[in-house]
Structure 1
Amino acid sequence: MLYRPFRNTDPRRLVEIWRSHSACRGLVQPMSVALLDEYVLSKPYFDRRGLIVAVDDSAAGEPNPVGFVHAGFGPNERGDGLDTSAGVIAMLMCHPLEARTEIERELLVRGEAYLSERGARRIRLGGVAREAPFYLGLYGGSAMPGVLESDEPLLAVARAACITGDCGDSGYCAIGRRTVWHRELATLRPVVDRTQMQIRRRANVEVVLDPPAASWWEACVYGPVDRLRFDLVGREDGARWAWAEFWSMDAFSAKWGVRAMGLKRIEVAADQRREGLATFLMGDALKQLAGDGVALAEAQADDDDLSSTALFRKLGFVEVDRGTIYEKQVPAAVSPPKTRTEAPPKVVKV
């Protein structure tokens, strides 16, 4: 088995590997070269050395790629560059017809080595929310959730990479969980009570089409998708009390057969919290989305985010999947395994 960096001739083969992957709710199918290019390869921080391909060259004829791992880095605090101390194994796939366990293990080690050699001191298996550099719009749903429970092949890789007992340097630990929530908008009934009626008299909901990105990182991650922001603005003071931003999940919409929007984030001003504003804003936003032909809204929240969980339940969202966040501490550089790699081209002197 040969392990080498990505080549420009690989996309078609990588798409074939993706299409052969076990179907799950949060995996866009059918994958295409155009989608791979738009959501992954066109990112300005894409590094071909971080996309490592396993190639079976044992048979006669053209070597056949059978798996790949894609490693990258999350953003720094300002969102204007990469944080090379925070590594991410963004994707790992292997053709199901191959003897995949050994190949997957080898790919994971090589992905970790790529990250460690560039300064990573912690590595997460599966992209998580803001830290995910690739595959938003193709995997996970409205955000990157770590490793989905419905993604059995990747979940098996993650569990095999975990250790039992105390966390140490030899493996991954599950450090958190996320829940994926869905709301079918055809049956939407916004919450109506005294508090909500008072808010309606005091504030307006304003819609901002394609709002400006908050940072370079956000522009890179959300570049391929359309976004929509709903602002809750006080009628008297003109201040923005709360806002909720959604993005168009076009690739998932094609898979699910309904138009879907994902909740990117909802925020309430610090001095306006616990007054029912999030419930009012979300209810109004979902109502407007339904009026525009959106049939499904998706949201995600960490399991320890009790306020978001309560909000989604109150609005009629139902749990459809769960993700686990796996992390590994890397105190020193990881050496790549001693298996065959692509030899450099020979230089012929004339």
Structure 2
Amino acid sequence: MKTALVTDGKYRSSIAAVRALHRAGYRVVVMQTRADVKSAPAVSVSKSCDDFRWIDGACADADYAEKLLSILKEYEHPVLFCVGAVTLNTVAARREEFAALANFLIAPKETLDALNDKESVHQRALELGIPVPREYDGTPESYPVVVKPHCGEKFGLKAADRYAVANNEAEFNVIMEKMQRYDPSPIVQQKITGAGAGVSLLLGRESELLGALCHRRVREYPITGGPSTCCESFYDEKMIDEAYKLIKSFHFTGLAMVEFKGDCILEVNPRVWGSFPMTEAAQSPIVAHYAQAAQGGQVTYTAKDYRTGVKMRFFLNDTVAALSYLKAGRVKEGLRGLGDFFTAKEALGAKGDGKVMRAYLKKSLFER
């Protein structure tokens, strides 16, 4: 039986990957570093998880790559699916060594670094004629503006802390002082209004398009600008074309999500992203195609090969978001959020696999 190894089981996105790989006929082994969690992650009790393995130490340890390589040697060229950014970069930095033991679609480290650099992405989009927000040097000419480091993840910032909005010069000066602790030259951009959306893509070894999925943000937390707590699948050929044109120009391989606001591209996440469970909710074959292509199989891109109009929510985060909208006086948005409790798909839920959601709630409520 084919084997797939999924890293970083602590992340919610790992649950979607494990279920999709299991359904595609793989024996799924989930790994997790002991020092990075307090207890076994929720995915370990999933019916789709055939085996769970601890890795001593943390992802940040100098010998983490050696530990991964040692585990891979125990299997016969398995599919390797990296969920966490640290693991992804670890494998990317030593691609040849890992490729001798496993099958995967991961871009070189320099490509990941370029796509993680928001300024690099901004300049490439301009060269390609793709709309992006206006940037300012020094004090902005008008407000509001968004201030963010070139790569917030590099500095260990949580998603909600990777940017801040300044509505006037006084706020701008305070935010700049804070951001310069991480990046001496933060990026300052015009704040774009409009709906936030993402285009998730899978590119093959030759940067050919193998899969695409669009989602729009419905709610986020913090409600002033933070990670998505509820999103909805849709299809937009133009957005897919622009997102693919951009990351293909970097000769990218693997999974990535391109963020849009209005008609503009904001940034690229060249890795498994926060709203990744939408691939399961919308019944996208993108994970199965990843495994198939990683093993050298033929995968042909099919447009709109997933369900549209599917709403997906993260129960705890989205409930807090809905209550925050109500508290802020945005009653319709808050009530709509509470109403979605009965209509939206739970990101971590699956028929016949209820232990995962119960384990996640227990960990979230009692370990934090």
User: With structure 1 as the length reference, what TM-score do the two structures score?
Assistant: 0.23
* Relative contact order higher in (CA < 8 Å, ≥ 6 apart): 1
Give the structure with higher Rg (CA).
Answer: 1
